[in-house]
Amino acid sequence: MTELFAALQDPAYRHVLSNHLPVTGLFVAWLVLLVGVVSRQRPTVVLGLALVGVMAGSAVVVMPAGEDAYPTVYEALDGASKERLDAHADLAAKWGLTLYLAAGLAVLALAAAVTNRRFAGAASWAALISALGSLVAAVWIADAGGKIRHPEFRNAHAGAGAGEDAVGGPVAMRRLSAEQYRRAIADAFGDDVEVVGRFEPEARRDGLLAVGSAQMTITPSGLEQYEAMATSIAGQLVAPARRDRLPCRPLSADGADAACTEEFVRSAGARLFRRELTTDEIRSRVEAASAAAASAGDFYVGLELAATTLLAAPEFLFRIERVEPDPARADRLRLSPDTVASRLSYLVWNAAPDDELREAADRGGLLGPDELARQVDRLLASPRAEDGVRAFFADVLRFDEIDMMSKDIGRYPIYSSRVALDAREQSLKVIVDHLVTRNEDYRDLFTTRRSFVTRRLGPLYGVPVRAADGWEEIEFPEGHVRAGLLTHASLNMLHAHPGRSSPTLRGQFLRESILCQTVPPAPADVEFALFNDDQNPEHKTARDRLEVHSSAGSCRSCHQLTDPIGLGLEHFDGIGKFRTTENGAPIDASGDLDGDTFRNASELGRAFRNHPRLAPCLVENLYRYAVGREIAETERGLTRRLVEDFRAAGYRVPALLRAIALSEAFRTAPLSSAVEPVVEEDARSTRAMGRMKRSEDDDA
């Protein structure tokens, strides 16, 4: 009884239960009425009409229950299920009205049957047909809802307890990004080691590069690039000027020294692989290095080979997650301690674990809640936590695309690649200052007037900058057009065309990346000629052109999602510079965000700050970023609890990071998770040694 009462408190579960009343009850009522009409039994007809009126009239309760349930269920679903939910809601809104019609006709027929038998027969048949139509519509609506097939409809009432004990999703093998690769080299060998080469391009999946990294492989040409970088780095490590930094000195530089080589492989390998190397991994490298050193008569030739095989190994290029049985829980696997350390460090620092975290993993400390909490707090208290927050928001805001962005210099003469890079850095500095340094409410990031500018950004923002070099902290006055993240030049120049602004691109970005909502792709046959004609004498502003463009039925549904909020940023041109007119016509930047009206960009930021999807979207994005995949069904209860914890913590991002890192799902995996992959290290070492030998023969 307690569980049933708890279930009824949840609007989603309550709506599912209440659906049985109009559907099942109406079917029974329709059968009673059918028997009465066919047999012409007046008492049965009266009973059937009364039942139809009551059952169909119950839509007065069911329809509002569905509206109450919609936000709760929508937040818990993934992209495909969200689309199915929208289809279900649209059908309910349109065809649910037939229930009211059936109820009305039943009442009229019942009145006729009591007061005017002359019209009772015809009225009863009309009510019978109307009820049948309502039944067909109800089945259609229910079928659309059933296609969602998501456990939230069954388990949404489970509460925080299910979230606290949630099992994580499958483990992954995530390729290092270029930034993570460079950071790993610097952490292992020093900032002065030069990394030269071309990295394979990254791919964004489900809105995040972090999710795409788990689906990326290395092409043959990419492998050659990684091996070339490995050879270059290894050559620098054994260069005469750096040899005093190696962990040991050989007994003789003219031949092999297995003990010194092993010490290097063990030390460097642990940093690069983010775990202690196995005996076989060490032995194969020491043997290959000793053979190369003996053949060349040079210890450092062998050591260079050993370093090359470490740097070209999959265990370095990929973050390979491993699982092991959990002796305390037979229904799940737990991540190995080194995997927990790696997940934690890349989440908080966007870098490999440091020596202290690896030592805690090696002694099994991360398997206990106390040591894990201590390490999480230590990482969060470090200045390096800024790097983790920067990396996450750079991914969510798609700042990697700024490197490939181009603008029409004829239209925007103050634009340059350096201005674009400064604009990106400005946004990241504001984010880090607000969320990490000041530890303030995430929602206020969309209304804050604090910012940073350089001399290059001064003309773009229209503010004087005293500092000739570096960054200058400023605060825009109350009521200024620049208030909040949405008014930053970085976002507005990135989500625009080379020669003009784009309300649609900006609106789509905000819906998808900031609110985690789905915007359907444009139909293949859409005609963009009118909107692209920004010199049109009749339609001078983007609002005018979009009103005509989006009047087509195939375009209207998408543009209704994107344009009202994208037009709120129209005071910023294609590079984010403020303007009041377009082609001489005044710009109207008013609109509404899901019912919250605004007059300009700063008020749009306020509407975003108060939007119910803002905080849940950040939680979903950060959790997906942490685990490198979409949220598993077993983790839905956890994400709901994380949203509640985030709210209770005053929407502080460090607190959210801590909650994710300490969650059970962050450290566990289902029993179906893949086992540790097999890597042919000996073959890779042999191939690297063969290339080294050929190089020596060529030099000779």
**Pick from 43-57, 286-300, 344-358, 643-657: least confident:** 43-57
What is the per-residue pLDDT for 146?
62
Residues 562 and 590 in one domain: yes
Rounded (5°) CA angle 439-478-580: 115
**Average pLDDT of the segment spanning 541-548:** 68
Give the residue with greater pLDDT, 92 vs 513: 513
**Average pLDDT of the segment spanning 301-321:** 97
pLDDT higher than threshold 50 for residue 680? no
Residue 23 in 3-state DSSP?
A: helix
Single residue among 96, 126, 158 that ends a domain in this structure: 158
What is the per-residue pLDDT for 46?
79
Q: State the Cα torsion 214-217-222-226 to the nearest 10°.
A: 60
- Of all residues in the chain, the percent with pLDDT exceeding 90 is 61
CB atoms within 10 A of CB 71: 14
**Pick from 91-105, 245-259, 525-539, 612-626: least confident:** 525-539
Q: Answer whether residue 332 is part of any domain.
A: no
What is the per-residue pLDDT for 388?
98
Report the CATH number that the domain containing residue 88 is assigned in CATH.
1.20.120
pLDDT higher than threshold 70 for residue 126? yes
Residues 147 and 178 in one domain: no
What is the per-residue pLDDT for 54?
75
Helix axis angle, 279-296 to 299-311, nearest 10°: 140
Whole-number Å distance between alpha carbons of 607 and 481: 15
Residues 69 and 179 in one domain: no
Whole-number Å distance between alpha carbons of 263 and 254: 18
Q: Answer whether residue 196 is part of any domain.
A: yes
pLDDT digits (tens, 9 = 90+) for 471-483: 999 999 998 999 9
Residues 224 and 285 in one domain: yes
pLDDT digits (tens, 9 = 90+) for 549-600: 454 444 445 557 788 899 999 999 999 999 999 888 999 999 999 889 999 9
First to last CA, the chain: 86
pLDDT digits (tens, 9 = 90+) for 382-396: 999 999 999 999 999
Give the residue with greater pLDDT, 216 vs 326: 326
**Average pLDDT of the segment spanning 305-334:** 95
Helix boundaries (H) for 252-328: 258-273, 279-296, 299-311, 314-317
Q: Answer whether residue 673 is part of any domain.
A: no
Residues 497 and 546 in one domain: yes
Q: Answer whether residue 411 is part of any domain.
A: yes
Whole-number Å distance between alpha carbons of 111 and 602: 58
DSSP string of 24-53, one letter each residue? HHHHHHHHHHHHHHHHT-HHHHHHHHHHHH
The three state secondary structure string of 85-134 is: HHHHHHHHHHHCHHHHHHHHHHHHHHHHHHHCHHHHHHHHHHHHHHHHHH
What is the per-residue pLDDT for 698?
45
Q: Quote the DSSP letter at residue 514.
A: I
Rounded (5°) CA angle 51-57-61: 130
Which residues are CB-contacts of 224 (< 8 A; sequence separation ≥ 6)?
none
DSSP string of 601-631, one letter each residue? HHHHHHHHHT-TTHHHHHHHHHHHHHHTSPP
What predicted TM-score, i.e. pTM, was given to this entire model?
0.77
pLDDT higher than threshold 70 for residue 38? yes
**Average pLDDT of the segment spanning 291-313:** 97
What is the per-residue pLDDT for 659?
97
Tell me the torsion sign for CA atoms 430, 435, 439, 442. positive
Q: Answer whether residue 358 is part of any domain.
A: no
Closest CA to 53 of 119, 140, 112: 112
Please check whether residue 393 is in contact with residue 485, taking contact to mean a CB–CB distance below 8 angstroms: no
Residue 167 Rama label (left phi>0; alpha psi -120 to 50; beta): beta
Q: What's the domain count of the chain?
A: 3
Q: How many residues does the chain have?
A: 700
Q: Answer whether residue 671 is part of any domain.
A: no
- The label of the residue with tokens 């599912």 reads 16
What is the per-residue pLDDT for 16?
55
Instruction: Tell me which residue range forms the domain holding 586.
Output: 393-609
pLDDT higher than threshold 50 for residue 249? yes
pLDDT digits (tens, 9 = 90+) for 42-96: 788 778 778 777 777 666 666 665 555 555 555 555 555 666 666 666 666 665 6
Please check whether residue 648 is in contact with residue 623, taking contact to mean a CB–CB distance below 8 angstroms: no
Long-range contacts of 192-198 (CB under 8 A, 24+ apart): 193/233, 193/236, 193/237, 194/232, 194/236, 195/229, 195/232, 195/233, 196/229, 196/232, 197/225, 197/226, 197/228, 197/229, 197/232, 198/225
Q: State the Cα torsion 140-143-148-150 to the nearest 10°.
A: 140
CB atoms within 10 A of CB 235: 13
Single residue among 580, 609, 638 that ends a domain in this structure: 609
Tell me the pLDDT band of 103, cut-offs 50, 70 and 90: confident
Cα 117 from chain centroid? 65
pLDDT higher than threshold 50 for residue 689? no
Cα distances (angstroms) measured from residue 313 to each of 269, 283, 285, 400, 463: 10, 15, 11, 26, 50
Residues 599 and 686 in one domain: no
pLDDT higher than threshold 70 for residue 36? yes
Give the residue with greater pLDDT, 662 vs 109: 662
Single residue among 609, 632, 650 that ends a domain in this structure: 609
Give the residue with greater pLDDT, 407 vs 683: 407
Give the residue with greater pLDDT, 500 vs 137: 500
What is the per-residue pLDDT for 643?
96
Tokens (6 digits) for 687 = 């191939």
Closest CA to 689 of 391, 309, 318, 214: 309
Please check whether residue 599 is in contact with residue 544, taking contact to mean a CB–CB distance below 8 angstroms: no
Residues 454 and 526 in one domain: yes
Q: Answer whether residue 551 is part of any domain.
A: yes
**Average pLDDT of the segment spanning 607-615:** 96
pLDDT digits (tens, 9 = 90+) for 561-572: 788 899 999 999
- Of all residues in the chain, the percent with pLDDT exceeding 70 is 77
What is the per-residue pLDDT for 379?
98
Which residues are CB-contacts of 147 (< 8 A; sequence separation ≥ 6)?
84, 88
Residues 82 and 194 in one domain: no
Residues 435 and 551 in one domain: yes
pLDDT digits (tens, 9 = 90+) for 418-469: 999 999 999 999 999 999 999 999 999 999 999 999 999 999 999 999 988 9
Closest CA to 18 of 99, 128, 81: 99
Residues 416 and 551 in one domain: yes
Q: Answer whether residue 665 is part of any domain.
A: no
Tell me the pLDDT band of 104, cut-offs 50, 70 and 90: confident
Tokens (6 digits) for 151 = 């456990």
Give the residue with greater pLDDT, 37 vs 22: 37
Residues 546 and 605 in one domain: yes
Residues 514 and 592 in one domain: yes
**Mean per-residue pLDDT of the chain:** 84
Whole-number Å distance between alpha carbons of 484 and 444: 8
Whole-number Å distance between alpha carbons of 435 and 408: 34
